[in-house]
Structure 1
Amino acid sequence: MKASETQLLRLLEKGSQFVIPIYQRAYSWTEDECDQLMGDIERAGRDAELNSHFTGSIVHVEKGLSNLTTQEPNLVIDGQQRLTTVTLLIAALADVLDGYPAGEREPWKEFSPKKLRHRYLVNSEEEEGSDEYFKLLLSKKDETTLRAIVSRTELPTDASERVQQNFARFRQELAKPGKDLAAVCQGLAKLVVVDIRLDRAYDNPQLIFESMNSTGRQLTQADLIRNYVLMGLDTKAQKVLYNNYWRRMETDFGQAAYEKQFDDFVRHYLTVATGEIPRFGDVYGAFKDHSRNRRDQGEPIESLVKELRSYATWYCAVALGHETDKELAEAFQDLREIKADVVYPLLLELYGDYKNSELDREGLLSIIRMVTSYIFRRAACRIPTNSLNRTFSTFTKSIDKTRYVESVQAHLVGLKSYRSFPTDQQFTDALIGDNLYNFKRRSYLLRRLENFGRKEQVPIEDYTIEHILPQNENLSQQWRDDLGPDWVNVRARRLHTLGNLTLTGYNSEYGDLPFTKKRDLKGGFRESPLRLNQGLGTLETWNEETIVQRAERLAARALEIWPLPVLPSGFDQPEPRPESAYTIDDHPNLSRPVPQALFEKFRGEVLALDEAVSETFLKNYVAYKTETNFVDVIPQTERLRLILNMPFEMLHDDRGLATDVTGKGKWGNGSVQIDLNKDTDLGQVMGLVRQAYEFQTGE
């Protein structure tokens, strides 16, 4: 490696050509980054006492230092965003100066349009339009757009939006009346970078690339994964894998979804492929481990990328709305609307089996609807969903693919404790009595209630939510009379419940009018075409009784829409887990003053993490678990010994409270030990316990 400080313009002038390899992400700087760069350049240009302005580093494999032929260009490992942006700025500056009178086209020495182009944009001795002619070659459609800008030819029909927009923004800014272009030129001349040239014989570009991922626009996990897959291959192999698989994934996702959701997709894929849920910030590390394991088993990298491409296609159908089958598309839309991302690992495997003819279409639809009912009922009953990551990551282990649908149905019915499928009574009680106006999935609830059984769907986005009993605390005398002498408490109990909520296009007309006026005005409840408003036109009053009656009718419809599955024939009801025979009395140390006081505080904090957390007294320790134990407490005479169930190396422990007990004899489950005594900061300890909880629940 050779590193030196140099002027950015000098680097562009000296280097015959810089090429962005195909495995690099597309150009992604936004207007914000461009405006910041422009501002920095102008400030540097106006400051006579400032000799230079540092703008980061450019890491490249220099020709003559690489193991490639000497005719190969400089391959950019890091720094393409600022190289591209400065190139766009220079091209825009040259274009603007072209429009000035002949004597005014050089606002600062050596900065005429011709010199700008021939020194920093093109190799003028090469054949115009050839690959060698351009100083900077980008990848993908960024390349054709930049070529057109530099050559001053017509932009391609599928021009890169970012390249095109940022060039246009620079040009517009530079062409403003009174713009001090001399300051811009001087600022450009002051830009300084660290020029880092690599030698493939001694330097590992991948490791250096990872370490450089702290400047500029932060790379996503997907960026790192793509580079990891492609960077170590020769150019021909890179192009084959990129064009056949990776580029197609990028195209399927589209730029916006690729930037926002591809990391999530890879996390779901790894959950299916490995059976473990990667932490959000460690998707890249988990992918590298998975890739190495596959490689150690003799699989070529192409096999892994091909598999990833298949899963990406399925993910686009399930999560991005690419499904072409109308019924399946609607079922997937329901899941997206209730934000059931936790089920995607299961759905990826189900959809793959559907595409491979192991599961028929009706079976897939049936399972999706069961899972939707499960997730939605739990949401309506306000049951936390944190632990469902583990539930769905291991779900397919319980599927008998010879009886696909029935085994899924049996598994859902058999879920116990905090994972259990809410009963009809639980679901009904929640729908009738809970505040559903502030329910995050209220639009989905009302849409399905309105459109259930309809062939012609009503677009509820055309309507607003109406409180039949108004939200205004200062109710009219008519409303108070209708509600009765206990009207204050009736309003508090029923205002935001399902029975009092409906849809209307006449919200502004209704206002706080009495019920009978809302019913009888033009377009009122008597004339409403919505099913949600059926029956309102025949009522004479609106009070707690009629609110509850309407809620009961709607809840009965909800039981049809989101049914509770029954145990299929041929499947046994799973036996309940036996209760532990031990109690707190079997731990005499917990009757001692210090550990007793610590335990009461600690158990309160742990149980407050989630309603799904359970406490079990065992012979030698107390276990706290969701899917599995995440912390075990061993009561001792003057302290509590905690065992966290997570790898020691994954724990963030700034205070050094934890000890690695991997492979050592101990009670409890896990590799991390913490001693909690009266002088230990409980808040700090709970921060470590929460990490173990999140590790086990996949959060």
Structure 2
Amino acid sequence: MHSTPVKFLELLNGQVQYVVPRWQRRYCWGQPDIERLVDDLATIATAGSNATHYGGTLLTFPEPGPAGVVTTRRVVDGQQRLTTVSILLGCIAVELGAEGELEGWTRQLILDDRLTNPGKPPEKRCKLRLQDGDEEEYRLGLDGYSGGAGAVSQAWRIARRLVARSDVALLLRGLDRLRVVSIGLDDKEDPQQIFESLNATGLPLTESEKVKNWLLMGLPDEEQQDLHDNQWLRIERLLGARHTTEPTDTFLRDVLRWRTGRTQGMDRAYDGFRRWAVQSGQDRDRTALCRDLARLAGLYGMLTGTAGPHGNAKVERELRHLRELGIDIHRPFSLRLLNDADRHDCRGCGDEALAKTLAGIGTWTTRMWLADRPTAGMNRAIAELAHEAGPDEGDDFAEHWLGRIRRLRNSRVGVPGDDDVQEGIRTRKAYGGSATRSAFAVLCELMEAEHREEAPARDRLTVEHVMPQKLTEQWKRDLGDGAEEMHGRHRDRLANLTLSGDATNSGMGANEFAAKREVYRKSPIGMTRSLAAEIEWDEAALERRVEELTRRAADRWPWPEQPSPARDDFRRASRFSWRIADGRLHAEDTASQMVLNVTAALLSRDPANSERLSGDAVSSNVHPASRYPPGTVAGTLTMRAVPGHEDHVLYPYDHDYPTSAERCRKMGERCGVAVEVEFEDASQSRAFWKFVKDHAGGVPGQKDTWRGASQWSSRADASGEQVGIHVGNPELLWLYIKSGDSVASEERAARMRRYSWQIRQEMGDQQLGDNIERNSEKGMTIAVQRPWVRDDEGEWPDAALWISEQCERLHSIIRDARGEGS
């Protein structure tokens, strides 16, 4: 076996034919894969002149044949990319036409030199031969017909659309810079066995393996060996990744979130990392990049505990709590802070300031957990915080970052207040699954805050249920009527949990409360000892315990309450209220959160309600999380965990507010109890525009009468250019510059084209649309985009601020282009 780095297009030089054997898999790339390749080609084409793009490997073995004829190579691995590039070349040839020429390429040159072997027999004419049906669709596509139903015909159709709306010169330049490692097998090696070992296990390269290959590929052997042994293996060691790549995958994802400010998932870590490296110029010195990753892995290992403790005791105490809590969402931001403190030129970010800032992050995360807020919503806020500029010279490091966290108070990821914490302690499930780990960390922190150096060692303690996990007959008699219902509601809540030693816990078991009181009385742990003051363990005792734990939590994780007009407006914007039977009234800001909380209340009221609310219909029923884990997509529906009942999920989004309200009422009927819902009915677009004005100050020219999905700002200059804003798509927001000229002209198109290129240069931190040419002809620019869930009003605060900020940036681009900027 021998490997050679080579230009992808050079593989198709000369009289050669690549044949996909029948034991290979069929072509299977879809639109996302092809679009990603085209985006990669465009990205690498606009990078520096020496930039290249690693396109994976092409593993082949020779087919014996007489000398002087077409060389045939069987494809073991790499056929998906080889086929897609060939299809793209065919589409580019069509786009060039009979007389066209770009970058030295013509239609005939592509056909004769890269796609076919002119003058050879039919079976040797094409440089690529696929399997059976794939082969027929590929050849028909070369002849201009792509009407088949298979994956290859679909690829031809997708590629033609993408090429037609792309800059063909950029694609050709990108293809010229595309590199692969060509691996040729000897005739004594078994290609099918190798293919099966690569693919039959269903274990493709992980994201970190791809990054490692990209970093090392093309370097001289000696340098490659040095980086692998002294840097990459060091990364794996610091991250505890000796037997699995998952820690390294997670590390790279979090580095990427910090560096880009975007919440890309684990499965896109390699693509995102490579694009960031190219766009930021880091790819020009991959040796330095690898060494810096090793340095960052040492800091990240302090977050995970795999690289040992931090050298400062105060910093380590805050890091330990974050580790023990088991909620890792903070890591991109915390890594950035550790990196700042690690830099010699960072003034004011010493250990004291670092510890204070990390304590604020610990308070934020802990209060989110205690208040039973979905921490998944923090992903975006954490990434954006990590990516933004730090304090100015002379500013207090800790106060700068704590102030930035306080500014989130009007959003769904703001630090919960004491009332929210108390309600969460009263109702959230704190035992079972990951909740057990978090509850143990919280209880241990409360214990250590009280006893300090005299606190018992954590490894000698366990979480103990006051009311046992399984009721005995004595407990049923003590609890009286409704014992089972009370047990179902309170068993796993924080107020029913405490800390005890291993031996004590196993000895108490399901003893009656009177016997447990005597054991609690002798406990060295204050909050366990305080339980002995209760005569019996009933609803009143549990409520007193809620109040005690709330007080302790507020002392350990203090956070100033700072109501503001914006926050008051946000609360008044809450249009939903609900109650079950004669219970207290609950206010909600979003219809989806109301559906989730009503469901949670019904399950807490009677565990048997989970059966009453279940059913076959995915969109309207409660389902076990074992079937649809939270965050997964069932069809087109994203399932959400029921608060406090993470073993159950449902899809909480409905078409409109009345549908959500009726859904809650019907759930009550199914459970034999009345659910009362009140809400202010309004169209979502109109309600959102009002929210934008109240919460973010509106956009230039916004009127109280705005209610449609598309609106336009006031004119930014004398020519009448405006910013268009579209909020009607349930999954995507977008803004763009709209020409003030209603009549199409070359001058208008050229002006929009200049705006689009300016947007690409100045707003590269945002998700941007494409099709500059087509949009320019229509009198508009490419779009500045942002994903959102329109029906989840919890996203409205962030979306409103984003619209306001991006609208101002687009207005600035218009003014600067006209020479009217300041």
Report the counterpart of residue 370 of structure 1 in structure 2: 360
Is residue 593 of structure 2 the alignment partner of residue 602 of structure 1? no
SS of the equivalent of 2:520 reads coil
- 1:310-334 CA-to-partner distances (Å, cap 9, x unmatched) read 2222111222442343443342232
- 1:498-546 CA-to-partner distances (Å, cap 9, x unmatched) read 33322333344434433222233xxx22322233322334544333333
CA distance in 1, matches of 2:452, 2:358: 20
Per-residue deviation, 1:246? 2.3
Is residue 536 of structure 2 the alignment partner of residue 541 of structure 1? yes
- 1:292-320 CA-to-partner distances (Å, cap 9, x unmatched) read 2244x894222322322222221112224
Q: Check whether the contact 1:525–1:533 (CA below 8 A) recurs between aligned residues.
A: yes
Instruction: Classify 1:556/1:231 alpha carbon distance in 2 versus 1 (closer, same or farther; 3 Å).
Output: same
Is residue 617 of structure 2 the alignment partner of residue 617 of structure 1? no
Report the counterpart of residue 411 of structure 1 in structure 2: 404
SS of the equivalent of 2:464 reads strand
The 5-angstrom pairing of residues 362-511 of structure 1 reads 362-396=352-386, 397=388, 399-401=390-392, 402-415=395-408, 416-438=410-432, 439-440=435-436, 441-452=438-449, 453-473=451-471, 475-476=473-474, 480=477, 483=479, 491=487, 494-504=490-500, 505-511=503-509
Per-residue deviation, 1:230? 1.4
Per-residue deviation, 1:205? 3.3
Pick aligned residue for 1:274 from 251, 255, 260: 260
Report the counterpart of residue 315 of structure 2 in structure 1: 328
Is residue 338 of structure 2 the alignment partner of residue 340 of structure 1? no
Per-residue deviation, 1:351? 0.3
Instruction: Classify 1:532/1:641 alpha carbon distance in 2 versus 1 (closer, same or farther; 3 Å).
Output: closer
Per-residue deviation, 1:668? 13
Pick aligned residue for 1:302 from 277, 280, 287: 287
Report the counterpart of residue 517 of structure 2 in structure 1: 519
Report the counterpart of residue 220 of structure 2 in structure 1: 234
Q: Which has the higher contact order (CA 8 A, sep 6+)?
A: 1
CA distance in 2, matches of 1:642, 1:392: 25
Q: Check whether the contact 2:417–2:561 (CA below 8 A) recurs between aligned residues.
A: no
Per-residue deviation, 1:255? 3.7
* Unaligned 5+ runs, structure 2: 1-10, 22-56, 63-75, 79-175, 185-193, 576-652, 662-681, 697-706, 712-726, 735-768, 803-822
Per-residue deviation, 1:405? 0.6
Instruction: Classify 1:484/1:347 alpha carbon distance in 2 versus 1 (closer, same or farther; 3 Å).
Output: same
Per-residue deviation, 1:671? 6.6
Q: Check whether the contact 1:580–1:616 (CA below 8 A) recurs between aligned residues.
A: no
Q: Check whether the contact 2:238–2:301 (CA below 8 A) recurs between aligned residues.
A: yes
CA distance in 2, matches of 1:263, 1:412: 27
SS of the equivalent of 1:417 reads coil
Q: Check whether the contact 2:427–2:493 (CA below 8 A) recurs between aligned residues.
A: yes
Instruction: Classify 1:457/1:398 alpha carbon distance in 2 versus 1 (closer, same or farther; 3 Å).
Output: farther
Amino acid aligned to 1:645:
L
Instruction: Classify 1:455/1:494 alpha carbon distance in 2 versus 1 (closer, same or farther; 3 Å).
Output: same
Is residue 180 of structure 2 the alignment partner of residue 205 of structure 1? yes
Pick aligned residue for 1:559 from 534, 554, 566: 554
SS of the equivalent of 1:446 reads helix
Report the counterpart of residue 209 of structure 2 in structure 1: 223
Is residue 306 of structure 2 the alignment partner of residue 316 of structure 1? no
Q: Check whether the contact 1:479–1:514 (CA below 8 A) recurs between aligned residues.
A: no
CA distance in 1, matches of 2:240, 2:378: 29
CA distance in 2, matches of 1:386, 1:601: 21
Pick aligned residue for 1:642 from 713, 721, 729: 729
Instruction: Classify 1:267/1:527 alpha carbon distance in 2 versus 1 (closer, same or farther; 3 Å).
Output: same
Per-residue deviation, 1:361? 0.7
Per-residue deviation, 1:258? 5.5
Report the counterpart of residue 94 of structure 1 in structure 2: none
Q: Check whether the contact 2:241–2:247 (CA below 8 A) recurs between aligned residues.
A: no
CA distance in 2, matches of 1:234, 1:250: 22
CA distance in 1, matches of 2:733, 2:254: 20
CA distance in 1, matches of 2:420, 2:571: 27
The 5-angstrom pairing of residues 246-261 of structure 1 reads 246-256=232-242, 259-261=245-247
CA distance in 2, matches of 1:533, 1:395: 39
Amino acid aligned to 2:261:
G
Q: Check whether the contact 2:440–2:462 (CA below 8 A) recurs between aligned residues.
A: no
Identity score, percent: 21
Per-residue deviation, 1:602? 2.6
Amino acid aligned to 2:277:
S
Per-residue deviation, 1:556? 1.3
Amino acid aligned to 1:282:
R
Instruction: Classify 1:487/1:286 alpha carbon distance in 2 versus 1 (closer, same or farther; 3 Å).
Output: closer
Q: Check whether the contact 1:271–1:278 (CA below 8 A) recurs between aligned residues.
A: yes
Q: Check whether the contact 1:615–1:622 (CA below 8 A) recurs between aligned residues.
A: no
- Please give the TM-score of this superposition, normalised by the length of structure 1: 0.53
Instruction: Classify 1:360/1:469 alpha carbon distance in 2 versus 1 (closer, same or farther; 3 Å).
Output: same
Greater C-alpha Rg: 1
SS of the equivalent of 2:315 reads helix
CA distance in 2, matches of 1:486, 1:581: 38
CA distance in 1, matches of 2:571, 2:439: 40
SS of the equivalent of 2:245 reads helix
Instruction: Classify 1:514/1:644 alpha carbon distance in 2 versus 1 (closer, same or farther; 3 Å).
Output: closer
Amino acid aligned to 2:525:
L
CA distance in 1, matches of 2:383, 2:412: 17
Per-residue deviation, 1:290? 2.1
* Unaligned 5+ runs, structure 1: 7-56, 63-76, 80-200, 585-599, 609-613, 648-657, 674-684
SS of the equivalent of 1:418 reads coil
Q: Higher mean Cα deviation, 530-539 or 351-360?
A: 530-539
Per-residue deviation, 1:486? 6.7
- 1:533-573 CA-to-partner distances (Å, cap 9, x unmatched) read 22334544333333322332232111122221477xxxx97
Amino acid aligned to 2:290:
V
